[in-house]
Amino acid sequence: MHHARQHTQTQTAERRRRLAHEAARLIAESGIRDYQLAKRKAASRLGIHDDASLPRNHEIEDALREYQRLFAGPDHAGLLRARREAAAQAMDFFSSFSPRLVGPVLDGTADARSPVQLHLHSDDEDAVGRFLEDHRIPADARVQKLRMDRTRHADVTVWGFAADGVNFDLAVLPRQALRQAPLSPVDEQPMARASASQLAALLASDPVTTHAGR
């Protein structure tokens, strides 16, 4: 009985690993950033449909890093560094809004399609829009739902624009969000975020090391 249960657990673990790597491949090759969608597509492709075999989002994220390391190598490291340097310049430009870097550019899973995602902070919802207009930066606004904590969601304005071939997404949050980051859609923990000084330290130490504050 014990051996049968152990065999079943081993099979489930192997299916989870295969699904995580297939989902990671789909994300890397097609640009899907919805982990649930990538998970479902991977399960369909591999013909695996039991819930116990579905990997957690962080397992897919780990598999994505491995995929990029194996198949992109130095090209990925160079792209990541370029994105982080662009983020540093943008954070200097938007310094009055206490910017924080979040997302794939920070966690090391960015690809050529990944925008630089910044959280900007202001209690004046229109301040970022006026700032962009004053500096004649054409940008489009959309609304994104963020999970602020276990019980609260918020609809926040996200300004999108491109500069020097890099896309930027600027989410405008209230000042109080500086004290507690919104929850990550990957693991439902407070998002990893980096201030300008933390990003500078990251660039100075290692272009592909993932190290950030919460």
pLDDT tens column, 118-177: 999 999 989 999 999 999 999 999 999 998 888 888 899 999 999 999 999 999 999 999
**Residue 194, pLDDT score:** 97
Q: Looking at this protein, which amino acid is placed at residue 75?
A: D
Residue type, 23: A
Q: Higher pLDDT residue, 212 or 69? A: 69
More confident residue, 193 or 51: 193
Specify the CATH architecture of the domain 74-205. Answer: 2-Layer Sandwich (3.30)
List, in sequence order, the alpha helices (H) in the chain: 2-30, 35-46, 57-71, 74-93, 104-107, 127-134, 196-205
pLDDT reported for residue 66: 83
Average pLDDT, the chain: 86
Whether the pTM exceeds 0.85: the reply is: no
**pLDDT at position 81:** 92
